[in-house]
Amino acid sequence: MIAMKSTAKMLLALSASGIVFSGCGSDQVEGALPRQETLYLSGQQWGAPATFNPLAESWMAAWPVGGRFNLVYEPLITYNTLNGQIEDLLGHLDEDLSNNDSIVVTLNPAAKWSDGVQVNSNDVKFIFTKGSINTSEQISDIHVDTLYAEPASEDSTAERKMIGERLAFIVNKAQRNNPLSVRDLLQAIRIAPAHVFEPLIAEKGLDEVKKLTMDKNPVVSGPYNIMSADPNKIILQRRDDYWGNAALHDGKLPAPKYVVHPIYKSNDANTIALTTGNLDASMSFVTRIWRKRGVHTWFNEPPYFAPGAMPMLMINTMKEPLNDKRFRRALATAIDYTAIRQFAVSNYTSTLKPGLIMPTGLEGKYINDEDAQKYGVNLAITDENERLSTVKQMLSEAGFKSVWKSDGTLDHMENAKGEKLPTLFITSPAGWTDWEAMVTIAVEGMRKAGIDVREGFVDGGQYWPAKGTGNFDLLMDKPSADVSPSLPWSRFNEVMSSRDWQPLGAWAGTNIGRYNQPGTPEFRPEVDQLMSAIPLMTDPEEIAKAYRELNKIFMEDQPSIPLVYLPEQFYEFSDRVWTNWPTAENPYAPPQLPWIASGTKILWNLKLAK
């Protein structure tokens, strides 16, 4: 009886935390889903779903429609972040036909919408020209060739049978001239059915159509469709007639009949569900995961996760003293990166190297350790006294003075003219616990070294406008958070490119730190020259040479401060109900939840635990 009361209290506590027990092994619960047929995934949806319309702005659309999800609407191709290979989905990338002028994709003739209509070039042209993402700067046109089978007889009058369509995405040379970014778009944009949306747009207008929620049996191409949605959970049901079962998976069905995304109130609730087996996999940040019994990751030991993204401090290079690269390099040297690795992110990262290139299988070949030692700041000083002494000397040589109070605490800083400098703030979203910890550790190291910096934790309503308009001193950000075919180019582009340079107050989509202002004495034209040349290069040696030069410039000028390597998305799973998850020892798919990129193949490989 005591055990029953304890269990009841635990269930009530979990329920209050936001844990959803829809079908977690209890056949007595009315409306519960069979646990042996249901996969519970979380980490993407944290509030009540607003819309499932693929034409809605991506920040409005709920999982699994907004963003790069393959379960309901699908892209033409997917990107395998393990090996850098482009994989087939609605189409096949024709490498032999693609070049710097056009990227060519052949549509899979087996691809069909859930209403039986074949996926065709009109669907592709519709979403690329009328969707939420403006692709005109990257793609100037889409040419379509109809493919026919040769007639069986030699009779020239015999009717040829159409067997497919081939699309050439023409690189817009007058604007971006960037085939790398075109490849990014092809794996990032989900195709929507033109035969459904075009009549609606003709009747209601595009703005009104975007307001439709599209949550009642929408016409989709993916392996699942929306079954139901409420503020607690989103439920998808398997489409047994999905075209890809036969065309891509040897006739197999995805193992789970249902995929459920519970909507938790916090990371703590998510973690409890994962450790109790009520949740099968998550992309949420879980602290000290080695202590979570029954929870597994890509690696069995540190760093546990495969790196894919680089959180960093973006620096507003328009503001004094941040406009001085010597000061920026001192900032970078003052941070205790070992403490960030151990305490802020639970050792989920390898040792940080100078530069803007990650030491992964796909990017690591572009790192030059000799350059890092020669041009980069020393990130590996473990002795605190040595690190503080080094920073103080760097500041002194640059003409900056730290003024201390009688009790030994920092009062303020002065420039070479003896003028008092204002306190700097690091802007970061409040409640993002791993980012908050990184900022706190960075501030502690900087202040000990005599740099007047404070934390500036703000809500989203302040963070996002500040980021775009440059209303910050330093700001936490994760440029190019999605692993894509264009890395590391896209990361350099977001941090250093001055092609779209905007003054403070104007909205900047890239280079939010306003580095390398055109027309100034400090402007380095070679940065944009390299940024323009790399996407058009085909010789691996020339590409490596260009990245080496670009990374050297980054290390010299330090326009941002990388803090840590983290995964593209965290990947934790429980094998209490479902087994055969991919790991470093069983790498049949990337370390991603089975809803994105080539990670969706996991659904066809999962097995029920015995």
| pLDDT of res. 610 | 86
Percent of residues, the chain, with pLDDT higher than 70: 93
- Do residues 380 and 334 both lie within one domain? yes
| pLDDT of res. 163 | 83
Rounded Cα distance, 192 and 195, in Å: 9
| pLDDT of res. 250 | 97
Give the mean pLDDT of 464-476: 97
In a domain, 48, yes or no: no
18-27, 152-161, 464-473, 522-531: least confidently modelled range:
18-27
| pLDDT of res. 31 | 55
Residues 6 or more apart from 342 whose CB is under 8 A from it?
Answer: none
| pLDDT of 388 above 80 | yes
- Do residues 164 and 271 both lie within one domain? no
Q: How many domains does the chain have?
A: 3
| pLDDT of res. 4 | 36
**Residue 403, domain CATH:** 3.10.105.10
**Residue 278, domain CATH:** 3.40.190.10
Four-point Cα dihedral 151, 156, 159, 162, nearest 10: 50
| pLDDT of 30 above 80 | no
Query: How does residue 242 score in pLDDT terms, banded at 50, 70 and 90?
Result: very high
Rounded Cα distance, 365 and 413, in Å: 41
Tokens found for residue 558: 């330090």
| pLDDT of res. 58 | 79
Cα angle for residues 297, 491, 65 (degrees, 5° grid): 60
Give the mean pLDDT of 401-426: 96
Give the mean pLDDT of 246-271: 95
- Do residues 509 and 383 both lie within one domain? yes
Give the mean pLDDT of 89-116: 97
Query: How does residue 22 score in pLDDT terms, banded at 50, 70 and 90?
Result: very low
Rounded Cα distance, 43 and 63, in Å: 10
Cα angle for residues 96, 99, 100 (degrees, 5° grid): 170
- Do residues 83 and 227 both lie within one domain? no
In a domain, 431, yes or no: no
| pLDDT of res. 154 | 62
Query: How does residue 158 score in pLDDT terms, banded at 50, 70 and 90?
Result: low
CB atoms within 10 A of CB 136: 12
Query: How does residue 162 score in pLDDT terms, banded at 50, 70 and 90?
Result: confident
Rounded Cα distance, 432 and 75, in Å: 30
Q: What is the separation of C-alpha 90 from the centre of its chain, rounded to a whole number of angstroms?
A: 22
In a domain, 242, yes or no: yes
- Do residues 169 and 318 both lie within one domain? no
- Do residues 557 and 574 both lie within one domain? no
- Do residues 86 and 39 both lie within one domain? no
Q: What is the mean pLDDT of the chain?
A: 92
| pLDDT of res. 401 | 97
Between helix 384-397 and helix 325-334 the angle, nearest 10°, is 170
In a domain, 251, yes or no: yes
| pLDDT of res. 133 | 82
Contacts 24+ apart (CB under 8 A), 505-513: 505/469, 505/470, 505/471, 506/469, 507/468, 507/469, 508/468, 508/469, 508/470, 509/468, 512/314, 512/467, 512/468, 512/470, 512/475, 512/477, 513/314, 513/315, 513/316, 513/317, 513/470, 513/559, 513/560
| pLDDT of 404 above 90 | yes
Residues 6 or more apart from 204 whose CB is under 8 A from it?
Answer: none
Cα Rg for the chain, rounded, in angstroms? Answer: 26
Which of 201, 234, 254 is the last residue before a domain boundary? 201
DSSP H or E run through 79: strand 77-79
**Residue 87, domain CATH:** 3.90.76.10
Q: What is the pLDDT of residues 324-364, one digit of tens each?
A: 999 999 999 999 999 999 999 999 999 999 999 999 989 99
Give the mean pLDDT of 542-567: 97
In a domain, 52, yes or no: no
| pLDDT of 10 above 80 | no
Please write down the HEC assignment for all residues of 516-544.
CCCCCCCCCHHHHHHHHHHHHCCCHHHHH
Tokens found for residue 563: 């803090």
In a domain, 244, yes or no: yes
- Do residues 342 and 484 both lie within one domain? yes
| pLDDT of res. 59 | 81
Go through 198-215 and write b for each residue having 16 or more CB atoms within 10 A of its CB, e for each that does not. Answer: eeebeeeeeeebbebbbb
Rounded Cα distance, 53 and 491, in Å: 30
Give the mean pLDDT of 152-163: 66
| pLDDT of res. 157 | 59
| pLDDT of res. 127 | 96
- Do residues 488 and 368 both lie within one domain? yes
Give the mean pLDDT of 306-331: 97
- Do residues 397 and 502 both lie within one domain? yes
23-32, 81-90, 179-188: least confidently modelled range:
23-32
Rounded Cα distance, 215 and 218, in Å: 6
Do β-strands 281-282 and 572-574 pair in parallel, antiparallel, or remain unpaired? Answer: antiparallel
Query: How does residue 251 score in pLDDT terms, banded at 50, 70 and 90?
Result: very high
Rounded Cα distance, 112 and 246, in Å: 12
Look at residues 412, 410, 420, 476 and name the one whose alpha carbon lies nearest to residue 448: 410
Percent of residues, the chain, with pLDDT higher than 90: 85
Rounded Cα distance, 264 and 186, in Å: 32
Four-point Cα dihedral 320, 322, 326, 329, nearest 10: 160
Look at residues 127, 126, 172, 163 and name the one whose alpha carbon lies nearest to residue 145: 163
| pLDDT of 9 above 60 | no
DSSP 198-210: HHHHHHH-HHHHH
Query: What residues make up the domain containing 84?
Result: 77-201
In a domain, 467, yes or no: no
Rounded Cα distance, 105 and 183, in Å: 10
- Do residues 344 and 243 both lie within one domain? no
| pLDDT of res. 543 | 97
* 8 A C-beta contact, residue 166 and residue 147: yes
Q: Which residue has the tokens 């036969």?
A: 246
* 8 A C-beta contact, residue 287 and residue 346: yes
- Do residues 337 and 371 both lie within one domain? yes
| End-to-end Cα, the chain, rounded Å | 30
In a domain, 460, yes or no: no
| pLDDT of 262 above 90 | yes
| pLDDT of res. 3 | 38
